[in-house]
């Protein structure tokens, strides 16, 4: 089934995570995404355990794209890129601010090739300000956005990093949405534009609605109540860990029944929602005391029967086998000659009419160089010359 | 400046976070979002410290929307909703699977009013499978998606929750992108469709590219190397905490210079990137030992001068004053008569031609009921009757 973005062409100059995952989401929805790489390739091709020129992360961030290797420091390479941009709807880059302009591929340069181009600049910190030219890594954004402080140790106050690169990936999804909105606007009005998005902006906007919400009312920063959800609702059972939540009165009654603790219903500390929040430490300790005596499966069964929200804590060894994850068919097993079998999650949003499909796995470095140069009108002799002078490279 | 989605009308039947933040992103980009609420209102209006019928979280999840209160259990209320849907491009709902159909507002019901409708169903776990009908809270998705396991304590193995509702909010951004893609497809092809998105699917797809990437190659689950970024790169200084990263050789040299430890450059444990990963515990301990002796400001200055990625760990007391966050103008101070001054972050993506703007703050419950019923062609007498029989309600 043709995807929602079928017919859209995107020139993807990005590397690492925030750009590539943004364009992969659009590729999954049918866009023709051309990943333009230097001869050394996107660093993610080699960061971590790899099979040839692709790591597991590269596979998960670059499927449905084609790879074109150009040396943009050569006149010929830059000319080929300009020809490509003339055929494109969107260009995305995540160089540090100022770098694209120095390379001759800034917005003003490329708009000459295509007047209604959507040009996208993803940065770490924004275009101005003291951090604008600094190198960015995900933990730096976790530090500056308040995320590391939100996760601080309750006893020592020591901040903690989240052990997965939330800011990088959140920026990717935010960028994908903005690009799609600009495509819609161009479809209606015929105009391209320049979208700018920084990881820092994306992360603060994302955290705000409850993570930073205590900053909303000036003067109210200190006495904002700790959110219910900020409690660590994890319990140890006889054989593992589960999460259990009981927010509403109905759920609290269900919990007392499931745990066979009818006297908790009479306990004045716990018989109102606000009481349960105020007396959370005692409530959680009592709950933990009971839950340690049976297995996770026993508790989950009886909690389910009493309609109490609950789940096992899944890890890498149990996640793929969970019946809900299997029922949703989230993880698909695929294969390719060079890779053997491998797994990837399917795109999360399911479209009844424009589902899109996996048309190709993440490309080898330069796998489509000759094909794409041919599509741009270069004859074989010229392609061979471009490759021989190093302005372009192909795979193998 | 008109937003990218100017001219799009969205009927928003969602409550809590995952739906409302999705539609707010679209409202920020110019869509006319009509929040349809029961008389009791979205629960977020009262969860947490509130000013009247709005909490800080409600303000941050519902700006640029209008509120219409209808009792969908009455024939008159349901009729008014159907009239509204006939004027709309998109309907979004996040009831538990099956509930919308029972209420007479499932896809098949509402498509009768508008053949090319984009109908969106956001769920916790998907439409089928053992969890489909269960109640969902954010921690349950953290548990099932592997996120709580990724954050587990290194020493005890005890899983940990992230103290901000990542799955809820990530689902919102993912939904906003999917809706926008469907709007683009409809603009080109004239067809509506049904989009289904579950929090569980969204979160696993989001985590995969590095958080769950060890699951990619069957058989490789156990010996996947721990990612560089999974290290807790937080250091205590004389007066607080900072993050410092040194991944490349250049950055490592910069770090050794900044910390005045030239002998580390000769240390065989650390003079290659892979050596620095293998010997991370020793490297981090040595770094911590040095960093504790000066203030954060002193270290950040000398680390910057040596081009080592670094940042202070900002919390609620320091975030608003940081010069980069101020330079980006991320947080805007606004005000309204009922609320006084309050702060919200601006939308993260900046559009050069379709920036959109804050047209109104989050609405009171039923603030636009009369206005909207009037727009649908009801005369004042009928509106008064609808309100008097309880099929609709207005504010105040």
| Residue B57 domain-assigned (yes or no) | yes
SS3 of residue B348 by DSSP = coil
Query: How open is the CA angle A69-A70-A71, to the nearest 5 degrees?
Result: 130
Interface A-B: count of C-beta contacts within 8 A = 473
Nearest to A182 among B143, B241, B351 (CB): B351
Active site residue B168: yes
Tokens 């790169």 sit on residue: B233
**Chain-centroid distance, C-alpha A7:** 24
**Does A305 share its domain with A339?**
no
Q: How many CB atoms within 10 Å of residue A389?
A: 12
**Does B259 share its domain with B182?**
no
User: What residues of B are in contact with residue A214 (Cβ under 8 Å)?
Assistant: 56, 316
| Residue A319 domain-assigned (yes or no) | no
**Does A277 share its domain with A180?**
no
pLDDT score recorded for residue A231? 56
Q: What is the DSSP string of A256-279?
A: HHHTT-THHHH-TTTSSHHHHHHT
Q: Select from B62, B140, B209, B322 the residue whose CB has the most chain A CBs within 10 Å, as the one to mutate to test that interface.
A: B209
pLDDT score recorded for residue B273? 80
Residue B231, pLDDT > 80, answer no
User: What residues of B are in contact with residue A197 (Cβ under 8 Å)?
Assistant: 348-350
B280 touches chain A (CB under 8 A): no
| Residue A135 domain-assigned (yes or no) | yes
User: What residues of B are in contact with residue A218 (Cβ under 8 Å)?
Assistant: 333, 341-343
Nearest to B176 among A128, A138, A177 (CB): A177
| Residue B323 domain-assigned (yes or no) | no
Domain stops at, among B312, B347, B366 = B312
B 233-272 residues inside an 8 A Cβ radius of A: 233-234, 236, 241-243, 245, 247, 251
**Does B101 share its domain with B178?**
yes
**Does B181 share its domain with B305?**
no
Q: Select from B147, B174, B185, B333 the residue whose CB has the most chain A CBs within 10 Å, as the one to mutate to test that interface.
A: B185
Shortest Cα distance from A360 to chain B (angstroms)? 16
Count Cβ neighbours within 10 Å for each residue of B229-238 and write b for 16 or more, e otherwise: bbbbbbbebe
**Does A292 share its domain with A336?**
no
Residue B2, pLDDT > 50, answer yes
**pLDDT by residue, tens only, chain A of 396 residues:** 899 999 999 999 999 999 999 999 999 999 999 999 999 999 999 887 788 999 999 999 999 999 999 999 999 999 999 999 999 999 999 999 999 999 999 999 999 999 999 999 999 999 999 999 998 989 999 999 999 999 998 888 889 999 999 999 999 999 999 999 999 999 999 999 999 999 999 999 999 998 888 899 887 665 444 443 445 689 999 999 999 988 889 999 999 999 999 999 999 999 888 888 888 889 999 999 999 999 999 999 999 999 999 999 999 889 999 999 999 999 999 998 888 999 999 999 999 999 988 899 999 999 999 999 999 999 999 999 999 999 999 998
**Does B195 share its domain with B338?**
yes
Q: Which of A109, A168, A250, A321 is catalytic?
A: A168
Confidence of residue B131 (pLDDT cuts 50, 70, 90): very high
CB contact under 8 A, B352 and A216: no
pLDDT score recorded for residue A229? 42
**Alpha-carbon separation of residue B342 from A79, B59, B334, B350 (angstroms):** 51, 9, 5, 22
User: What residues of B are in contact with residue A150 (Cβ under 8 Å)?
Assistant: 163-164
Q: Please give the backbone phi and psi of residue B183, each rounded to the nearest 5 degrees, phi first.
A: -65, -40
A162 touches chain B (CB under 8 A): yes
Q: Which domain holds residue B295?
A: 241-312
- pLDDT tens digits, B85-101: 999 999 999 999 999 99
Nearest to B60 among A126, A216, A245 (CB): A216
Inter-residue contact A136 to B329 (CB < 8 Å)? no
**Does A104 share its domain with A160?**
yes
**Does B56 share its domain with B203?**
yes
Helix and strand element counts for chain B (H, E): 17, 15
- pLDDT tens digits, B101-113: 999 999 999 999 9
Domain stops at, among A277, A312, A347 = A312
Residue B195's nearest CA partner among B124, B122, B128, B120 is B120
Cα–Cα dist B35/A15, whole Å: 39
| Residue A163 domain-assigned (yes or no) | yes
| Residue A347 domain-assigned (yes or no) | yes
Share above pLDDT 90 across residues of chain B, in percent, rounded to a whole number: 82
Confidence of residue B232 (pLDDT cuts 50, 70, 90): low
Inter-residue contact A7 to B188 (CB < 8 Å)? yes
We report the CATH number of the domain holding residue B172 as 3.40.50.10540
Confidence of residue B41 (pLDDT cuts 50, 70, 90): very high
| Residue A219 domain-assigned (yes or no) | no
| ipTM of the prediction | 0.95
**Does A302 share its domain with A354?**
no
We report the CATH number of the domain holding residue B306 as 3.30.1540.10
SS3 of residue A201 by DSSP = helix
User: What residues of A are in contact with residue B50 (Cβ under 8 Å)?
Assistant: none
Domain count, chain A: 2
Residue ranges of E strands in chain B: 9-12, 32-37, 50-51, 54-55, 65-70, 90-93, 118-123, 193-198, 234-236, 241-244, 310-312, 331-336, 340-345, 350-351, 392-393
Domain stops at, among A286, A312, A338 = A312
Residue A142's nearest CA partner among B245, B17, B135, B282 is B245
- pLDDT tens digits, B51-85: 899 999 999 999 999 999 999 999 999 999 999 99
Indicate the DSSP class of residue A165: -
**Does B31 share its domain with B112?**
yes
| Residue A45 domain-assigned (yes or no) | yes
Q: What is the DSSP string of A24-46?
A: HHHHHTT-EEEEEE-TT--GGGT
Shortest Cα distance from B332 to chain A (angstroms)? 10
Residue A25's nearest CA partner among B33, B16, B197 is B197
Shortest Cα distance from A382 to chain B (angstroms)? 37
């Amino acid at each position: 089934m043709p995807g929602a973005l079928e017919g859209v062409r995107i020139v993807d100059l990005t590397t690492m995570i925030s750009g590539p995952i943004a364009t992969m989401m659009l590729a999954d929805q049918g866009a023709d995404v051309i990943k333009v790489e230097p001869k050394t390739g996107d660093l993610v091709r080699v960061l971590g355990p790899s099979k040839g020129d692709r790591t597991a992360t590269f596979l998960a961030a670059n499927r449905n794209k084609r790879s074109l290797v150009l040396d943009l420091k050569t006149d010929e390479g830059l000319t080929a890129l300009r020809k490509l941009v003339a055929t494109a709807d969107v260009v995305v880059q995540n160089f540090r601010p100022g770098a694209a302009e120095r390379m001759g591929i800034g917005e003003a340069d490329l708009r000459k090739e295509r007047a209604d181009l959507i040009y996208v600049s993803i940065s770490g910190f924004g275009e101005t300000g003291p951090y604008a030219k600094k190198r960015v890594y995900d933990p730096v954004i976790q530090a500056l956005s308040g995320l590391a402080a939100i996760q601080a140790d309750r006893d020592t106050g020591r901040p903690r990093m989240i052990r997965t690169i939330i800011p990088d990936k959140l920026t990717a999804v935010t960028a994908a949405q903005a690009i799609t909105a600009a495509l819609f606007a161009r479809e209606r009005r015929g105009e391209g534009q320049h979208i700018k998005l920084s990881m820092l902006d994306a992360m603060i906007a994302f955290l705000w609605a409850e993570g930073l919400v205590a900053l909303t009312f000036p003067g109210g920063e200190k006495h904002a109540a700790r959110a219910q959800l900020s409690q660590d609702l994890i319990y140890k059972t006889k054989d593992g860990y589960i999460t259990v939540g009981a927010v509403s009165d109905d759920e609290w009654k269900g919990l007392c029944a499931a745990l066979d603790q009818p006297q908790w219903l009479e306990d004045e500390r716990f018989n109102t929602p606000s009481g349960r929040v105020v007396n959370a430490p005692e409530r959680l300790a009592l709950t933990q005391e009971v839950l340690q005596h049976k297995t996770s499966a026993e508790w989950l069964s009886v909690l389910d029967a009493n309609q109490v929200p609950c789940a096992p804590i899944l890890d890498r060894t149990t996640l793929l086998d969970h019946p809900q994850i299997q029922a949703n068919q989230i993880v698909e097993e695929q294969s390719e000659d060079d890779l053997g079998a491998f797994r990837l999650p399917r795109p999360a949003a399911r479209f009844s009419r424009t589902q899109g499909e996996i048309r190709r796995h993440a490309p080898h470095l330069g796998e489509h160089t000759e094909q794409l140069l041919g599509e741009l009108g270069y004859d074989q002799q010229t392609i061979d010359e471009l490759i021989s002078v190093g302005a372009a490279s192909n795979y193998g």
